[in-house]
A and B are shown apart, each in its own frame.
Chain A
Amino acid sequence: MSAKATRAGRSTGGERTITLEISRFRPEQDSEPVFETFDVPLRDDWAVLDGLNHVKDQLDGTLSFRWSCRMGVCGSCGMTVNGKPRLTCGTFLTEFGAGPVRIEPLKGFPVIRDLVVEIDDFLAKLSHVKPWLIREGEELPLTTEYAQTPEQLEAYKQYSMCINCMLCYSACPVYVLNPDFLGPAAIALAQRYNLDSRDQGDRLDLLNTDEGVWGCTFVGECTSACPKHVDPAEAIQRYKVTAAMRSVLPWARR
């Protein structure tokens, strides 16, 4: 990888600036990613994403990246910032002092272009764990809810907070080395339904496999990376206990 000459912004005269080293991959011209550097204004309330938008709007319209809500809930703008998977809308430029800030696509995923990665595999994994409420027998009429106490809600609530940003996959060395691993978010999502008092499904066959929970070696980085405190590492270890109990004691509950 080589760095090109820095391109300064037209509106940065006199203002404090910070250098962004942005990984570029243009499949028509690059055989592998190269770094390009840009100077952007360094303002106290600017997130890394604001810096990227400044580049896109004023310096180089060809830079490609995904973003949308810029309030940490749509899950689009995950990238590798100075080596760590982060939501760029919630990561402030001032965190990096004088800079530079190195921005790369999320590790562990094929790169389509610049900072945009392919996530089809991740979506297939989400679907794989049957992430919907499974009920047997008659459905209740639309005037009645399935009763669920606040305690029962609390039992799975944390695992329902995943925004599908994939930072946990990017942080997981198992996934990066073996893309067949079901991965943290998908297993946490399975647990979100497993632990929901309204769910009557059984996801043992999907999770109790080498590519499922047993693929996890418990590095714990998924939990450190998670911006929403879902704690996928916990979800996985808990299901290992469940799966082990059910294998030994066939009558054990899910």
Chain B
Amino acid sequence: MSETTRTYRPRRDRVWFLRSRAYTIFVIRELTSVFVAWTIAYLLLLVAAALDGALPAFSAFAAQPWVIALNLVALAATAFHSVTFLNLAPKATVVRLDGWRVPAFMIQGGNHTAWLLVSAVLFWVVTR
């Protein structure tokens, strides 16, 4: 029902993500997705090489210093992404048992345990 009056609308803030620590961490988490994507592409290349019997060539590619450096960064980024993702998971999965709400730390703990177990199995498969 209101008549319009002149209001002040601030200009778009181009560096809004620097305004608070929470925003900055959020943006870093979003940026780590790029490395998650690279890791998936890298794995697909590995699988393709294995199927084509071109593993030696792939190994030579993987052994180059810049690829190793990239993968180290990607490992760190992916781990950061996974940890933060699993910590946020209870927000999307509310579990109630007979009215009692399973607390967030249990869901997070379950997620991290599952993640470690899968990692351990993969480690065993790869290194056996």
The 5 closest A-B pairs by CB, nearest first: A237-B92, A110-B7, A151-B99, A111-B8, A234-B91
Decide: A177 and B99 in contact? CB cutoff 8 A: no
B residues lining the A interface (CB < 8 Å): 2, 5-10, 12-13, 16-17, 19-20, 22-23, 26, 30, 88, 90-94, 96, 98-99, 101
- A217–B31 Cα gap in the complex (Å)? 12
- A110–B7 Cα gap in the complex (Å)? 6
Contact flag A27-B23 (CB < 8 Å), given A155-B96, A241-B92: no
Residue pairs across A and B with Cβ atoms less than 8 A apart, 29 shown, are A27-B8, A33-B8, A83-B20, A107-B10, A110-B7, A118-B7, A151-B96, A151-B98, A154-B101, A155-B96, A173-B16, A173-B17, A173-B23, A176-B13, A176-B16, A177-B16, A218-B88, A219-B26, A220-B22, A221-B20, A223-B91, A224-B22, A231-B91, A234-B91, A234-B92, A237-B91, A238-B92, A238-B93, A240-B92
- A112–B91 Cα gap in the complex (Å)? 36
Is there a chain B Cβ closer than 8 Å to A52's Cβ?
no
Tally of A-B residue pairs with Cβ under 8 A?
69
Decide: A219 and B92 in contact? CB cutoff 8 A: no
A194 to chain B, nearest CB (A): 13
- A110–B11 Cα gap in the complex (Å)? 11
Find chain B residues with CB under 8 A from A154 CB: 99, 101
B85 to chain A, nearest CB (A): 10
Interface centre among A233, A237, A240, A241 (most CB of B within 10 A): A237
A242 to chain B, nearest CB (A): 10
Q: For residue A195, which residue of chain B has the nearest CB?
A: B94
The listed residue (A120, A176, A221) touching B22 by CB distance below 8 A is A221
Q: How many residues of A contact B (CB 8 A)?
A: 33
Contact flag A221-B30 (CB < 8 Å), given A27-B6, A33-B8: no
A6 to chain B, nearest CB (A): 24
Find chain A residues with CB under 8 A from B19 CB: 83
Contact flag A233-B7 (CB < 8 Å), given A173-B16, A220-B26: no
B105 to chain A, nearest CB (A): 15
- A151–B92 Cα gap in the complex (Å)? 19
B112 to chain A, nearest CB (A): 18
Decide: A217 and B23 in contact? CB cutoff 8 A: no
- A238–B90 Cα gap in the complex (Å)? 9
Is there a chain B Cβ closer than 8 Å to A25's Cβ?
yes
Q: 12 additional contacts, CB 8 Å, given A151-B98, A221-B20, A240-B92?
A: A27-B7, A107-B10, A111-B7, A112-B5, A155-B96, A173-B26, A176-B13, A177-B12, A219-B22, A219-B23, A223-B91, A238-B92
